[in-house]
Structure 1
Amino acid sequence: MGDAIDMIRAARQPDGTWLQAGRQPGRVWFEIDAPAGEPSKWLTLSGIRVLAWWDSA
């Protein structure tokens, strides 16, 4: 599990956000997040929550 946490920490940008990766193949019915390469509010929320959980354990 520590390796996964290290990957999450490494992906964090200097401004504290995480960037949206490339799109998965297939049909997109509606856009819910940032374009690829842009800061993602949903990935940032998830990253912050996971790191807070890990650091509190």
Structure 2
Amino acid sequence: MLGWALTFLVVAVIAGLFGFGGVASASAGIAQILFFVFIVLFIVAMIARAARGKPPV
């Protein structure tokens, strides 16, 4: 999922450089949403792992 966020971020930067403002803002918004979803899932996974008694890696 982090890979998709980075992909949309790159698309947003490239679209912004070429002057496609609508595409750039849409891609940046998608990248931001995916990044925050990734962070939330990562935190949930770490809490679940700690709850099972396994130390963080």
Instruction: Specify the TM-score bucket, using the shorter chain as the normaliser.
Output: 0.3 to 0.5
Which has the larger share of helix? 2
Q: Looking at secondary structure, tell me which structure has more strand per residue.
A: 1
* Pair member with larger Rg: 2
TM-score after normalising by structure 1: 0.40
Return the TM-score normalized by structure 2.
0.40
